[in-house]
């Protein structure tokens, strides 16, 4: 307690130097927090885009379908699986899907296309497909009076085949039984724009695709959306399905390349921020060393009256650590409203960016304990570490030399 009171007294006595050093730490902390919030928020928005655009937080498929997709690798006995998923409180929604390739015909043009079949009711609980319909309307699973099902197509395919809402679309593919699949569909909506990744995609109702591809009631995949996306790995590990032929993967495994890129970018940004804070603390170290030099006589007196060298090291350590604590608390008070504003409102970008048919026009941050407390712990620990060399120098001061200095 005596050293603590002495450390506080010394900080108050050296007002000018204390204020300058404290402001340096406060600025470094605020910059660290702001950058981390922006990085975490940007990647968080991008992850949300990936998962809500198509992948979901967790996917279920048969065997190695993810690496080697085949039309016949389907999930059977769907009722038992859906009953199991319905019992899990962690799940917001789940949606079955079918994938295939096809040759699409317009009036006088052809183009390869990718078929994605979804349940029109269940899919909006997992993805933003409903929001991505920019022209026309979202399809239904009911055939019209002529027996034709509806389909939604990407903007690129619509342009290439000169199709619009209400046009007839002919698809030719191969059925699961080896037969030639061909049928006519009515375009109900155009999805995304010509730059979207799904620009050459045909979306079909699930029941229409099952009939078209002779898949009976089977599907290729289930996409799951969770209440707490960060817990998707734990959820996938805890999901105990009776059917041993099913594989459960998180979005990090489904989009492994993107996930590795994200981690590399985050690590690079964190390294840059640590470097900036390190430069700030070089200045702090210089300030602490100057303080030790100016207080040589004071330390000489303390040594002369019986203060042990280790006590001087502790004194310098406590002064610097206390100053760092006060600085980060001040920085927290100043930066918290800014981070909150960036999280809720965000910064409007000059030009909106299309990401899979969803327009993002603002950059947002992340308001979380990690964003605030990780830099706080780092700065306090760094301050304590850089105080040790000046403390050792003060401990080595000889009373006779110190008292004779001016």
pLDDT surpasses 50 at 94: yes
In a domain, residue 344? The reply is yes
Nearest to 313 by CA among 385, 381, 379, 380: 385
Domain containing 306: what range? Answer: 2-51+259-403
- What pLDDT sits at residue 243? 63
Q: Determine the average pLDDT of the residues in 269-277.
A: 74
From 189, 213, 244, give the residue that closes a domain: 244
Contact 174, 180 (CB under 8 A): yes
In a domain, residue 58? The reply is no
In a domain, residue 249? The reply is no
Residue 375 to residue 363: CA distance in whole angstroms: 21
96, 189: one domain: yes
Q: Express each pLDDT in 45-56 by its tens digit.
A: 777 777 887 888
pLDDT surpasses 90 at 7: no
Contact 256, 22 (CB under 8 A): no
Run of H or E including 113: strand 110-118
Residue 188 to residue 380: CA distance in whole angstroms: 60
- What pLDDT sits at residue 118? 94
Contact 152, 203 (CB under 8 A): yes
Residue 222 to residue 241: CA distance in whole angstroms: 13
pLDDT surpasses 90 at 222: yes
158, 108: one domain: yes
pLDDT band at 187 (very low <50, low <70, confident <90, very high): very high
Single pTM value for the model: 0.72
229, 319: one domain: no
Contact 184, 170 (CB under 8 A): yes
Nearest to 41 by CA among 356, 276, 261, 370: 370
In a domain, residue 59? The reply is no
170, 218: one domain: yes
Residue 193 to residue 347: CA distance in whole angstroms: 24
User: Would you give the DSSP letter of residue 148?
Assistant: P
Per the prediction, the chain carries an average pLDDT of 81
- What pLDDT sits at residue 357? 47
Pairing of the two strands 347-355 and 133-136: unpaired
279, 359: one domain: yes
- Specify the number of domains making up the chain: 2
307, 213: one domain: no
Q: Express each pLDDT in 301-352 by its tens digit.
A: 666 666 677 777 777 788 788 888 888 888 899 999 988 888 887 777 666 6
pLDDT band at 361 (very low <50, low <70, confident <90, very high): low
291, 148: one domain: no
Percent of the chain residues past pLDDT 90, beyond the cut = 20
Angle between helices 256-294 and 309-344 (to 10 degrees): 140
Contact 33, 374 (CB under 8 A): no
304, 367: one domain: yes
Residue 143 to residue 315: CA distance in whole angstroms: 81
In a domain, residue 148? The reply is yes
């Amino acid at each position: 307690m005596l050293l603590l009171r002495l450390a506080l007294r010394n900080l108050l006595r050296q007002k000018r130097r204390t204020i300058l050093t404290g402001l340096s730490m406060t600025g470094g902390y605020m910059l660290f927090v702001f950058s981390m919030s922006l990085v975490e928020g940007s990647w968080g928005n991008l992850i949300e885009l990936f998962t809500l655009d198509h992948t979901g937080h967790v996917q279920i498929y048969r065997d190695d379908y993810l690496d080697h997709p085949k039309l016949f690798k389907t999930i059977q006995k769907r009722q038992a699986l859906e009953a199991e998923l319905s019992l899990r409180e962690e799940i917001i929604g789940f949606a079955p899907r079918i994938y295939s390739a096809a040759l699409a015909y317009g009036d006088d043009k052809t183009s390869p296309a990718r078929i994605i079949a979804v349940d029109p009711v269940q899919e909006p609980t997992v993805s933003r497909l409903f929001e991505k319909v920019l022209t026309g309307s979202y399809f239904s699973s009911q055939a019209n009076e002529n027996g034709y099902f509806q389909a939604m197509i990407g903007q690129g395919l619509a342009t290439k085949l000169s199709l619009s809402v209400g046009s007839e679309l002919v698809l030719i593919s191969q059925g699961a039984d080896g037969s030639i699949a061909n049928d006519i569909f009515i375009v109900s909506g155009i999805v995304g724009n010509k730059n979207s990744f799904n620009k050459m995609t045909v979306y079909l109702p699930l029941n229409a695709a099952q009939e078209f591809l002779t898949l009976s009631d089977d599907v290729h995949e289930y996409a799951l959306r969770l209440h707490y996306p960060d817990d998707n790995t734990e959820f996938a590990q805890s999901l105990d399905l009776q059917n041993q032929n099913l594989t459960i993967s998180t979005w990090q495994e489904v989009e492994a390349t993107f996930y590795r890129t994200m981690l590399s970018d985050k690590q690079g940004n964190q390294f840059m921020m640590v470097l900036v804070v390190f430069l700030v603390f070089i200045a702090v170290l210089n300030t602490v060393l100057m303080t030790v030099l100016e207080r040589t006589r004071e330390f000489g007196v303390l040594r002369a009256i019986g203060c042990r060298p280790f006590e001087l090291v502790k004194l310098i350590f406590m002064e610097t650590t206390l100053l760092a604590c006060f600085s980060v608390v001040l920085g927290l008070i100043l930066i918290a409203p800014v981070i909150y504003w960036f999280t809720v409102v965000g910064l409007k970008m000059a030009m909106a960016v299309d990401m899979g048919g969803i327009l993002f026009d603002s950059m947002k941050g992340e308001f979380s304990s990690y964003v605030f407390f990780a830099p706080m712990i780092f700065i306090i620990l760094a301050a304590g570490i850089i105080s040790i060399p000046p403390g050792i120098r003060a401990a080595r001061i000889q009373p006779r030399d110190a008292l004779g200095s001016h």
